[in-house]
Amino acid sequence: MQRRPLLALAAFSPLGTMLVTPAFAAPGVGQTAPDFTLSDTTGKPVKLSDFKGKTVVLEWNNPGCPFVRKHYQGNMQALQKEATGQGVVWLAINSTRDDSADYQSPQQLGRWMTEQKASPTATLMDEDGKVGEAYAARVTPHMYIVNPQGLLVYAGGIDSIPSARVDDIQKATNYVRQGLTELRAGKPVSVATSRAYGCGIKYKNGAA
């Protein structure tokens, strides 16, 4: 199954407001992040609002995507470890529908994350795509930061170079790391939105 890279999936008005297709009614940066409860790969329910008071990173994940594999050459794992070591909650979310060639069962996904030596706080299953749609997540990896007050403060790509080349990681500005550093210093996130890039998410309703 050929995967089509999607490089310009979120657009923003001159005022910085997120513009989305009608199928995706997402919150804008500065608005309350939609609450959700999803099961992790072991079947344990995880609720976003339980982490109120902590910074939360949401990472949309699909192991079959070349862009995900690019960042799982060590970049994503290092960022997860760095963030969680500083008290950030990191939730990796897979919204791939269960009849897609890219679908992995909870057990398979959990095993893959272990093999990659990933260290998110939890890896969550969103097979019906409801949470992904709530955030207008369109690609993997699509990244979000939620501040301790529960507001969305970043939405977009992991970094500034939309490619599947591992060599570009060192040359790119990592917007997630930059945003977390600024939040930790009590500063506003200077780049609150960016172009998300990666493989289109295979949603149950066909939108991607």
* pLDDT digits (tens), the chain, 208 positions: 444 444 433 333 332 323 233 344 578 999 999 999 999 999 999 999 999 999 999 999 999 999 999 999 999 999 999 999 999 999 999 999 999 999 999 999 999 999 999 999 999 999 999 999 999 999 999 999 999 999 999 999 999 999 999 999 999 999 999 999 999 999 999 999 999 999 999 998 775 5
pLDDT at 15: 29
Measured from the Cβ of residue 111, the count of other Cβ atoms closer than 10 Å reads 13
Pairing of strands 122-125, 89-94: parallel
Taking the CB of residue 27, how many other CB atoms lie within 10 A of it? Answer: 18
CATH architecture of the domain with residue range 54-200: 3-Layer(aba) Sandwich (3.40)
26 contact partners, CB below 8 Å, separation of at least 6 = 18, 20, 134, 135, 136, 155
pLDDT attached to residue 29? 95
Q: Which residues have C-beta within 8 Å of that of residue 67, sequence separation ≥ 6?
A: 5, 139, 140, 141, 164, 197, 198, 199
pTM for this prediction: 0.88
pLDDT of residue 206: 72
Q: How many CB atoms lie within 10 A of CB 133?
A: 23
Burial class (CB in 10 A: 0-12, 13-18, 19+), 19: exposed
The predicted pLDDT at position 105 comes to: 97
Q: Helix 75-85 vs helix 175-184: angle between axes, to the nearest 10 degrees?
A: 10
Cα distances (Å, whole numbers) of residue 138 to 71, 115, 129, 190:
17, 26, 11, 23
Query: Taking the CB of residue 126, how many other CB atoms lie within 10 A of it?
Result: 24
Contacts of 135 (CB under 8 A, 6+ apart): 26, 27, 33, 34, 58, 142, 144, 155
Residues in the chain: 208
pLDDT, position 149? 97
